[in-house]
Structure 1
């Protein structure tokens, strides 16, 4: 990675941090005034800017990526992230969920590259970790389907959200597998695993935000969404880069 590229990424990360502090201050100020509005201006705008900046990191990878194929997959995934954000911004939640499902599918393909071979040669401990993590994710899905069974039956949007939850869970498991089996270089694998954990937590909070009535529990869910979402995007974007020569 050239010095100019390092400077470019560092500047973007600094801007993301500064904007995050700004909008999180606005979000959490609602607790003092018991303001249950969805956003305080310009919080929503700052959040979208941060998402776009994360895309800039992913799209700037060029020759500094792990491979040409990996870079192309991640660039495609981040295109769908922006399209999904645009859909949510104009109130098209069902379309947004569908777009993010495509994004997670691309992340599954990228993060599980080489999984079959590595899993075949994995140690007993590695296989045990993956089985346990898979079981926990299936259990969480089962709990959510039980809690919101009536909503899933009555509303097509919730059916779409639940199907997205299945794909998201697979994507998280693939991210954890990438780290456990070191499908990517170590630093990249850690970024992918932590990034996908953040993505998962964010989307769980988005789901809770959608079904909760205005109140303190809703305010907590709404305020925490972007604490997880931007780190998820940044870590996944940074996982595109090759670090062995830095």
Structure 2
């Protein structure tokens, strides 16, 4: 069974990360502007439906205290992964409807690693490889969202913001999460490294509002999307540090309140919004 899972994982990984597949998806997306707009709206409608479906299911279980404490997402996991995949599909099919072809490619690759991370966590929620995959995705998002920073004249304020966000992330890890994870220091160190990358990702998203490389509407989507990513990962941190019980179930369900909007808003940020939604 382990070999089958590994083979499936390897095949999906190759399909997701193969540049030829990304290029083919983008080429197919250039066929019709109207068709692309319709497809994006259809995908968004399906995502909204799935979000309402698993949110209603999860919070009903929480309200009536009938959730599986060991596996609170047993029934909703597949709907949630579908939201991840559909959000990635938005980036993979941006094509000529992106405001920048190179930016669309950067975002599509980042989302490939997000999908990969969710696949890994579906097999093992505590996998370090899943953490590495998400860390790489956000490292790529940092490079993408802070594009043009070197030419920005007021860099001093930007670097001060970075110190404040990363310093706050580190302080939160030490004060809030270390007491809960001090029995497993290597794991705490891994999560701390990831928290610092997430702090950098939030900083890069906020700088996008000032740098001017992205259209203003796109920069707002980036800032909102990555802020939601940051909040969802705070919830994940509580999930990983809390004992089995309804506090951990609450953290699990709250994660997707932020994670789903994060996926969608950031995915849409690569599009020429005036062209697609005119």
TM-score (norm 2): 0.80
Equivalent residue for 2:48, pick from 6, 9, 17: 17
Gaps of 5+ in 2: 1-31
Offset at 1:221? 1.2
Match of 1:62 in 2: 95
Structure 1 alignment gaps of length 5 or more? none
The structure-2 alpha-carbon separation of the partners of 1:44 and 1:155, relative to structure 1 and needing over 3 Å to count, comes to: same
**For 1:182-201, what per-residue CA distance to the aligned partner results, in whole angstroms no more than 9, with x for missing partners?**
33110110000000000000
Change in 2 beyond 3 A, CA 1:72/1:146: same
Distance 1:128 1:159 in 2: 29
Q: CA RMSD in A?
A: 2.1
Whole-angstrom distance in 1 between the partners of 2:161 and 2:144: 22
C-alpha contact (below 8 Å) 1:54/1:237 kept by paired residues: yes
Aligned to 2:121: 88
Contact 1:152/1:162 (8 A) holds in 2: no
1:78 to 99, 107, 111: 111
In the superposition, relative to structure 1, how do residues 152 and 190 fare at CA in structure 2: closer, same or farther (>3 Å)? farther
Contact kept, 8 Å, 2:205 with 2:223, in 1: the verdict is yes
1:30 Cα deviation after fit: 1.9
Q: CA deviation at 1:152?
A: 5.2
| Aligned-residue offset at 1:139 | 1.9
What is the distance in 1 between the residues matched to 2:271 and 2:93?
Answer: 10
Show the counterpart of 2:169: 140
Hey, what's the Cα distance between the residues in 1 that align with 2:87 and 2:157?
34
1:1-246 matches, cutoff 5 A:
2-37=33-68, 38-91=71-124, 93-118=127-152, 120-121=153-154, 131-132=160-161, 134-149=163-178, 151=181, 154-245=184-275, 246=278
Alpha-carbon distance, 1:136 to partner: 4.3
Quick one: structure 1 residues 34 and 112, their matched pair in 2 at CA, closer, same or farther if it must change by over 3 Å?
same
C-alpha displacement of 1:24: 0.4
Structure 2 SS opposite 1:219: helix
Give the Cα separation in 2 of the matches to 1:94 and 1:174.
Answer: 24
Whole-Å Cα distance in 1 between the matches of residues 73 and 165 of structure 2?
36
What is the distance in 1 between the residues matched to 2:234 and 2:210?
Answer: 23
SS of 2:273's partner is: coil
Mean CA deviation greater in 157-166 or 7-16: 157-166
Q: What is the deviation of 1:159?
A: 1.5
SS of the residue aligned with 1:148? Answer: helix
Alpha-carbon distance, 1:148 to partner: 3.2
Q: For residues 102-160 of structure 1, what are the alpha-carbon distances to aligned partners after superposition, in whole Å with 9 as ceiling and x for unaligned?
A: 10110011001101212x157xxxx6587357414422321322333353573322221
Between the two proteins, the alignment pairs up a number of residues equal to: 241
TM-score of the aligned structures, taking structure 1 as reference length: 0.90
Q: Residues of 2 paired with 1:153 and 1:40: CA distance?
A: 26
Runs of 4+ in 1 over 6 A off after TM superposition: none
- Superimposed CA distance per residue, residues 189-243 of structure 1 (whole angstroms, 9 cap, x where no aligned partner): 0000000000000011001011112334323211111111111111111011112
CA distance in structure 1 between the partners assigned to 2:63 and 2:166 by the alignment: 35
